[in-house]
Amino acid sequence: MPKRQLPSLHGLRAFESAGRHLSFSLAALELSVSQSAISHHIRQLEDELGTPLFVRRTRAIALTPAGTVLLAHASQALDLLAAGSRAARETQRCQLRVSLLPSFAAHWLVPRLPRFQAAHPDIEIMLDPALVKAEVGPGGVDLAIRYGQGDWPGSEVQLLLREQLTPVCSPAYRATLPTVLHPADLAPCPRLTSRTRPPSEWDSWASLTGTMLHGPLHMLTDYNIVLQATLNSQGIAMGRLAMLADILASGQLVPLMPDIVARGEIAYWLLTHGKRSPALTVFCDWLLAEAQQTTQRMSQIDT
């Protein structure tokens, strides 16, 4: 194969940009170099080719016939190089499958995920929202984030974020209750809960207050449905403050008794299996850092 006779890549980039814009100054802005650098690279390219590429006028430039021919080829070649670079990077992208509750995905992880993706574009996070724990490890997901008391045998379990629990309702429902609330005032209220809840969620808060809650208990499939029913003023829900910080800050839901908060073993946990890959380690470390920020935010609200 004969040796390729290739001009300077710097010269081609400068020429192609200037040729598209018909402006040395716009090419300089696009390539983040000085206008004199663009002019220098193009002069060198013209010397290499032995022909002028631009007609230089006082306030404008125009392509010569040789420049018109070269611009079409240079644009195509640079597009091919860019596509090849993207394809090469894609081969290095790592995919992580993450199983988690739909409510935690929607209200905690997804709003934060763009920050991770911006910092780690080579790691693709594929979310698998599910109400039941997925198989973690070979043939299953890389990571599961579950809500409960940390008792999942067969997986390595690491604490992510402890929850804080207090009843919440819509502003409209709050208006139907006494202005000054005591725990006993909530006893007859309809309680909304999800089937996937830890069984001690309402019990933990009731034990803390010494209140017997005898209102109807409406069992809904998922905590997202619980939240929607609560927003629709159908009753009160056990608010998971770590997850609902944004909703509470917006005023869509209000805590009924913010001074009475159950803090216990109920938390969000990271479930993995075997040695973590470098990408999984990076993602778990990022999750832990985000969880720490959430905890700090809750402590500031408490004070």
pLDDT recorded at residue 300:
62
pLDDT recorded at residue 5:
78
pLDDT recorded at residue 303:
44
Q: Are the CB atoms for 144 and 98 separated by under 8 Å?
A: yes
- What is the pTM assigned to this prediction? 0.65
Render pLDDT for 129-174 as a digit per residue (tens, 0 to 9).
988 888 898 888 999 999 988 888 888 999 999 999 999 999 999 9
Helix (H) or strand (E) holding 206: helix 201-209
Among candidate residues 150, 155, 117, 149, the one with its CA nearest the CA of residue 134? 155
Render pLDDT for 233-289 as a digit per residue (tens, 0 to 9).
999 999 999 999 889 989 999 999 988 888 877 899 999 998 999 999 999 999 999
Render pLDDT for 35-66 as a digit per residue (tens, 0 to 9).
999 999 999 999 999 999 999 988 889 999 99
Q: How confident is the model at residue 111 (pLDDT cuts 50, 70, 90)?
A: very high
Q: Is 115 helix (H, G, I), strand (E, B) or coil?
A: helix
More confident residue, 215 or 224: 224
In the chain, DSSP finds a helix count (H) and a strand count (E) of: 11, 11
Q: Are the CB atoms for 129 and 137 separated by under 8 Å?
A: no
